[in-house]
Structure 1
Amino acid sequence: MRRLTTFFLSVSTALIAVPASANDLDWLAGHWCGQSGKTFSEETWMAPRGGLLVGMHRDTRDGRATGFEFMRIAAQDGRWVFLAQPGGKAATAFPAERVEKDRAVFANPAHDFPKRVIYSRPDVDTLHARIDDGRDDGQAMEWTWRRDCVAPPSS
């Protein structure tokens, strides 16, 4: 039984450890934005360089900032890790579970919420982001942004 447990732990770790390659996340780079109700959101990601992407997010409503987040995706120990700092708080790490062409899934099952952060690009001018409780049918928040949009005057 002990050998079987060790085997499954080894396989699980191998499946979770997604190796970082230089051009894996090029598709995320850019200025992305959109409106949901009265809230205008924008997210900007620098292109990967030196094993690091740097990002920031800002929400505005009625001409006032309502939220911000500093983010980075760093190659750590040979794999991608998403580090989120909502409101500038201490960083929470979400190691890459999957990195595919135009899609990346980062997960931290020990975190309260979110447990998973997912970015996908359905086409070259659209970025979709989702945070959730680790389940496809569970609690989630989602955003869809367009590339290089312009904020409306009241944002």
Structure 2
Amino acid sequence: MSRSRLLIKLLIAAVVLAIGAVFWLRRSDTSEGPDAAAEGEVAASPVNELAWLAGCWKHEEPGFRRDEQWMRPGGGTMIGMSRSVAEDRTVEHEYLRIEMREGRLAYVASPSGQGEAAFVSIEITDRTAVFEAPEHDFPQRIAYERMSPRSVLAWIEGDVDGVSRVVEFPMTATSCP
């Protein structure tokens, strides 16, 4: 596999894991226990709609693993991170945020060694989150879909050299470190 294809695959995996974490948070949000007051404070924030993504998610295939973790909504943001490992070596990492920008939710990614990229929401439901940045090189769209309480399908899509591409990352819930 060429280095550029591996990097694209890793970027896609990072995005998928981030989306998966948001699904996990939503699933595990119970508004009980010591965090109930803090969760109540967040209830008015649109970011809280993505609480189902909170938690830890993994995508595995032979020779490759992507882990993604999202914190519960707090202070109007969700914070996430991802790591991609190929052949027992970290090949990519990414810091992620979901926050309000200009009245809409935005997915903000800071991939390893690259500048920040913001994708604005075009669809948010109780099972789906789709973000878009048409001017971005690849991907132009990042999405997460909650398939069940313990599984999320994340994908990235866009044009590469004039050819439409979609890369999917089925993720399952995993214990957080």
TM class, shorter-length:
0.7 to 0.9
Higher helix share: 2
- How far is the alpha carbon of 1:138 from its aligned partner? 2.8
Does the 8 Å CA contact 1:68/1:88 hold for their aligned counterparts? no
Aligned CA-pair RMSD = 2.1
Greater C-alpha Rg? 1
- How far is the alpha carbon of 1:93 from its aligned partner? 0.7
Equivalent residue for 2:127, pick from 79, 102, 110 = 102
Q: Which runs of 5+ in 2 are unaligned?
A: 1-44
Q: Percent identity at matched positions?
A: 32
Aligned to 2:99: 74
Does the 8 Å CA contact 1:44/1:57 hold for their aligned counterparts? yes
Displacement over 3 Å in runs of 4+: none
Does the 8 Å CA contact 1:33/1:149 hold for their aligned counterparts? no
Equivalent residue for 2:67, pick from 38, 42, 59 = 42
Aligned to 1:139: 165
Aligned to 1:23: 48
Query: TM-score, normalised to structure 1's length?
Result: 0.77
Structure with greater contact order relative to length (CA < 8 Å, sep ≥ 6): 2
Distance 1:149 1:38 in 2: 21
Aligned to 1:86: 111
Query: TM-score, normalised to structure 2's length?
Result: 0.68
1:57 maps to 2:82:
yes
| Superimposed CA distance per residue, residues 123-143 of structure 1 (whole angstroms, 9 cap, x where no aligned partner) | 000011111017xx9311110
SS at match of 1:28: coil
Letter in 1 for 2:141: R
Does the 8 Å CA contact 1:31/1:42 hold for their aligned counterparts? yes
